[in-house]
Amino acid sequence: MPVKNIIPGQQVTKEKLQRAKELRREMTPAEKILWQELRANKLGIHFRRQQVIQGFIVDFYCHRAGLVIEVDGDIHGLQKEEDERREKVLSEMGLKIVRFGNDEVMRDLALVVGRIKEWIAE
């Protein structure tokens, strides 16, 4: 079970908030496509995009399901250690982290959304 109120109680720097806003404006094509499926409670549950959690900016976050969704581009092949550290911190908070590649989202959006629905139902 996720920790309650992890978003409201955390300290977020102005720089981190600004960077999250920039990332919302500069979403990748894959993030934009997935966001169209997640936004406005289309899956029956609320998602936020570019959410700051414990100093990390995650692509998509659903507090009620304790679910973090990351859409990975080529850069993630170069930052495996950082991704592992992020996942460890977020997992220790009781969050589930799900990763999809940009190509996965672009190639088979229905499959990606179906898998997200499964994680929500758990």
pLDDT of residue 122: 82
- Whether residue 34 contacts residue 109, with contact meaning beta carbons closer than 8 Å, is answered with yes
| 19 domain residue, yes or no | yes
pLDDT, tens digit, 9 for 90 and up, residues 13-24: 889 889 999 999
Whole-model pTM: value is: 0.88
Structure token pair of residue 87: 């996942």
Residue 85 clears pLDDT 60, i.e. is over it: yes
| 108 domain residue, yes or no | yes
| 5 domain residue, yes or no | no
pLDDT of residue 83: 82
Average pLDDT over residues 7-16: 79
| 20 domain residue, yes or no | yes
Residue of higher predicted confidence among 122 and 44: 44
Residue of higher predicted confidence among 7 and 15: 15
The CATH number given to whatever domain includes residue 66 is: 3.40.960.10
| 4 domain residue, yes or no | no
**From CA 119, how far away is CA 114, in angstroms rounded?**
9
| 8 domain residue, yes or no | no
pLDDT band at 10 (very low <50, low <70, confident <90, very high): confident
| 97 domain residue, yes or no | yes
pLDDT, tens digit, 9 for 90 and up, residues 22-70: 999 999 999 999 999 999 999 999 999 999 999 999 999 999 999 999 9
Helix-strand-coil split of the chain, %, nearest 5: 50, 20, 30
pLDDT of residue 32: 97
| 6 domain residue, yes or no | no
Total domain count, the chain: 1
Domain span holding position 115: 14-121
